[in-house]
Structure 1
Amino acid sequence: MQNIVSPPNRTSHYGLARGRGQLDPQIPASRLVTRLKLLRNTLRPTPHVQLAVKGMNLFAKLEYVNPVGSIKDRAAYWILTRAAERGEICEQTTVIESSSGNFAAALAAFTRLVGLRFIPVIDPNISGAYESFLRRICPTVVKVEDRDDTGGFLKSRLQKVKELCATIPNAYWTNQYGNLDAMEAHYELTATEICADFDSLDYVFIGVSTAGTIAGVSRRLKEHYPNVRVIAVDAEGSAIFGGAPRKRHIPGVGSSIVPPLLSHARIDDIVLISER
């Protein structure tokens, strides 16, 4: 399966345009941009470690060594920085996002460091450690409890984001599901590191949820290694590749919607994994 890139669209198919903060003419936009760009120094290249598997050279990229602990740190940094550069957020902005954990943690840490407000929208599947972390550093945490029509919580979280954006002044939805900056983060950062470390690649396996990682990485790797095969790894019970959505238990892999960023990914095959 190979998806061809569609024209850029900065509004998701849920009708949720990203929030736009109004810049205060008395506060130079460059001040927020400068603070955000300083965070770039924390995003060091993550290591590739060879795994002991007979008959092949198999490597794992250790994204947990990112500063807040996951690959989502890259997208959080990139989205905030690009939004500030375009004047879409300012020091009065309240950032809002739906997340099962990793992306919310990254946004919470980075917004706190640069002085922005952040409201994460979470659900009962979030790990206790992440929820505790968010409640310690975010003045407001919104937790949805009602399941949606798929048996999950994602659509309920997105509806809550829509309500918050409609009622909070200067709200900005980072939209990890459809924001092209999320894809660009992995094209410019994650995939660039892979290309620097390997002369050739035959296969790359990438877990899929919001599809930002696989969209950005697949496009860069296909340019650098024309014969590489990109394998999407999804969970059983996920709706991303056309399956019927059902209740899942592991956050961060799979989705109960088809994320808009998936249309930008260049995928050769799909592997479904069981949670059991």
Structure 2
Amino acid sequence: MANEFAKMRRLRVVPVVAAMVVGVVALSCVTFATPGFMGWVEDPSEQPWHWLLGGLSLAVPMVSPILLAVLASRQVDIEHQGNGWLLSQTSGLTPGYLCRVKFVATGAVVVAATLAQSGLVFALGKLVGITVAFPAGQWFSYTASIVAVNLVLFALHLLLSARIGNQLVGLGVGVLGVFVTVSSTGMPTWLAHFFPPWGYYALATPVDAREGGVVALDPPHLSVITLGVAAGVLFMFITRRFDRQEA
């Protein structure tokens, strides 16, 4: 684990994570430019927190898929370039075990970045003067759902990058994922279920803008939990298979 964190420093992981956080926060705060928003900060009927939460739920799926692909690629490409798989295996660390260690180490960074995004958007909402009641339940449940979806997507890209030496493939999937994610926002809920994990960004969306204003939704949190459990089992199964392969 310590070795993986040491690799992260050399791989410039911090700038990639910082770009993800800054990108999400910046796009979320476009909400501040909504006509009349600054006049709603003290009006409970206008639900300014829900507008800001809506901005966050639009920003996350536009930024995360590509940068998570970049993050996974950087973590694995060093093993392909330096024959690290073989070196680790001679030290008793199988490829599958190394993938699991990478997931835990870098996954902790992904979780921290996702929590930072949510916290910074909340802090900026306070900074601009929003004084109405904070919808803690919706905000925290959305943050937890996005943590789960981000981890699932990161695991997918980690396996893809480990299996395919050409890292352009993983990055191409990341770009394609943005289009799938954006498209899934207009899909019926039942259809979005068939595009994991990208469609689950849309499923986790807690609010929606309508003609009369912003309305709260009832996201299928059980679906996100099921995705996380299924992805965890599948990740363990695939990396166990990696354990039986020669580097």
Greater Rg by CA: 2
TM range (shorter): 0.3 to 0.5
Query: Which structure has the higher relative contact order (CA within 8 Å, separation 6+)?
Result: 2
Q: Given the two structures, how large is their TM-score scaled by the length of structure 1?
A: 0.31
Q: Decide which structure has greater helix share.
A: 2
Q: Decide which structure has greater strand share.
A: 1
Q: Given the two structures, how large is their TM-score scaled by the length of structure 2?
A: 0.33
